[in-house]
Chain A
Amino acid sequence: MKCRVAVLLLISLLSLTTVHAEPAQELEWDAMIPEDYRPDKIMAQFGDINALEDDDPRAQKILEELEAAWKEAPVVESLDGKRIKLPGFVVPIEGDGKKLTEFLLVPYYGACIHVPPPPANQTVYVKVPKGDAKIRQAFDTVWVSGVMSAKSFASDLATAGYQIEAEEVTPYE
């Protein structure tokens, strides 16, 4: 009798935990770029770049192709629906004076003019439903945990790219 009760208890406990699903997996920014679109892979196609002169037409072509690849920036669709944890810098979009409800998460700080902006697959649109991410200022570093949606840019633009419904936003130490 006691044994049965214990088993029942165990099962109910287990089911309770599974309701919350898998824990958030840490994600790296590199993993968000599909294999065949890695800049280094593209670079490899052209051989030793350092050997080229700056005004060599091939150098120009490489740059143009890199830029195009940058613009294309497809998403890794296998990440869609996964619960992940991602660190990054905050670029505020929507919020009142005290908390942010929407922001963009990027892998590097600031908007430096000498470097292209983060491509579309290195920019995550984060929504904080509870609106309680008390992020102190722009370019704060945080961990964002939540379910990632990764839809290709060929689909409806409003839902395209990487988006996260944040469950938790914590400061990055």
Chain B
Amino acid sequence: MAIFSLAFKSLLNRRFTASLVLLSIALSVSLLLGVERLRVESRNSFANTISATDLVVGARSGAINLLLYSVFRIGDATNNISWKSYEELSRHPLVDWTIPISLGDSHRGYRVMGTDQGYFQHYKYAQKRSLTFHQGQPFEKVYQAVLGHEVARKLGYRLGQDIIIAHGAGKTSFTLHDDKPFRVVGILNATGTPVDRTVHVPLQGIEAIHADWFAGRQVRGLTISADEALERDLTPKAITAFLVGLKSRIATFQVQREINDYRKEPLLAVLPGVALQQLWDLIAVAENALLIITVLVVAVGLIGILTVMLASLNERRREMAILRSVGARPGHILLLVTGESLLLSLIGIALGLLLLYAGLMLAQSYIEAHYGLHLPIGLPSFREWQILGLVGTSAVVIGLIPGYRAYRYSLADGMSIRI
């Protein structure tokens, strides 16, 4: 259309101002979309971490807390579960399988988790996917370890290598269990879950390395060597938590209630789906705040367009008189000015998308490495298109303001020469 070609040339003439406004729109749009993508992917990532598990049981604390430390390896347990209680509950007639978990040690910043072989068989993630081995096999002996994909990759470990477990969860530790190294016998495939960042050892292994620890410290003169430890009874006395799979989904509430009412020890059993939902509800406040902020940033960008267009209107009255004289209608003038706003917005949005993808490509690997969050570089989702559509529509509405102004001017001025 002739008008849009005019609009484009008009903008080209005001390149400098136009590109500043363009940049502000682009940045705000990429921010909006980036935040949205982060939100969606975080949710997906959390939801995909655990699957086909009916209950998660830990010492009595809060549901979200339990979920976070046992499944996501975020935070710490406040208390442990006695082995006796665990054994008794795993014998419940409705229980199909259980996976015991013991947390508290680390290896160069990665969590070490004590568990049994059932973990590799029963643990599922991302819609019932099982763990698979990149190399090697599950542990069988006490001083063996299976590494999550990222641990192996980042630290450059191979099968057959020996690693030292440190006490506590920090990246550095002054208390190493260095007399009892563990041999890497298996490396798992990537799952996109905290499993990738975990070092898995048998429960007995955890017991062995703490065999000569009393009240939280190794006592000199009372050290027990690795071999000596093997001769002891390495049945754990306590675990941090356990996962439960039931024979019937419908029995979930009943078993949950029984565990919660268990008189011998204060325990908490949660449904992972429900606890996750509670977690999201908690985060929702922050998410909404972030959304509002990014929306406001876009609004600021659009107001920038409005300002630029309105400010230029006065000096364009001559131009409009000329256009009227060659036959342009007031409606054409409206279209011209609104068209310029629209063009600015559309190009800004397109630029914003480009910026988003560029940013994603740059930051993807860093975010994945440090936060375990995979941000896909796919085409915009339906919701993202909706957001873009909304921004575009707002741009049209914003553009109508100077457009209407110009329309009224051209009606009033006609062809009079207002220099």
Contact = CB atoms under 8 A, between A and B. Distances in A.
Q: Do chains A and B touch in the complex (CB under 8 A)?
A: yes
Interface string A103-131: 11010000101001111100111000000
A116 B256 CA distance: 11
B417 interface: no
B178 to A, nearest CB: 41
Contact of B248 (A101, A118, A158): A158
Given A104-B252, A117-B253, A157 B127 contact: no
A97 interface: yes
Interface stretch (A19-27, A38-46, A86-94): A86-94
Interface residues of A, number: 33
Contacts of A138: 273-274, 277-278
B250 interface: yes
Nearest to B381: A98
B387 to A, nearest CB: 16
Interface centre among A71, A92, A103, A116 (most CB of B within 10 A): A92
Contact of B254 (A71, A113, A137, A160): A71
Interface in B72-130: 94, 126-128
Report whether over half of chain A's contact residues are helix, strand or loop; otherwise say mixed: mixed
A160 B273 CA distance: 22
B247 interface: yes
B251 interface: yes
Contacts of A157: 94, 247-248, 251
Contacts of B278: 138
Contacts, number: 88
Contact of A92 (B40, B45, B277): B277
Report whether over half of chain B's contact residues are helix, strand or loop; otherwise say mixed: helix
Contact of A125 (B46, B250, B280): B250
A123 B253 contact: yes
B373 to A, nearest CB: 12
A162 B249 contact: no
Contact of A161 (B48, B248, B274, B277): B248
A95 interface: yes
B47 A120 contact: no
A157 B249 CA distance: 9
A117 B257 contact: yes
Interface in B46-73: 46-48, 51-52, 54
Contact of B249 (A71, A93, A97, A106): A93
Given A91-B271, A96-B44, A158 B247 contact: yes
Contacts of B128: 94
Contacts of A137: 277, 280-281
Contact of B250 (A97, A111, A116, A161): A161
B43 interface: yes
A94 B127 contact: yes
A91 B250 contact: no
Contacts of A117: 253-254, 256-257
B237 to A, nearest CB: 30
A161 B246 CA distance: 14
A103 B250 contact: no
Interface in B256-277: 256-257, 260, 271, 273-274, 276-277
A165 to B, nearest CB: 14
Interface centre among B44, B127, B274 (most CB of A within 10 A): B274
A120 B40 CA distance: 35
A96 B126 contact: yes
A80 to B, nearest CB: 15
Contacts of B276: 92
B40 A162 contact: no
Interface string B26-52: 000000000000001101111110011
27 contacts: A91-B271, A93-B54, A93-B249, A94-B273, A95-B273, A96-B44, A96-B48, A96-B126, A97-B40, A97-B47, A102-B249, A111-B256, A111-B274, A116-B257, A117-B256, A117-B257, A119-B254, A124-B250, A137-B280, A157-B94, A157-B248, A158-B248, A160-B248, A160-B250, A161-B249, A161-B250, A161-B251
Interface of B: 40-41, 43-48, 51-52, 54, 94, 126-128, 247-254, 256-257, 260, 271, 273-274, 276-278, 280-281
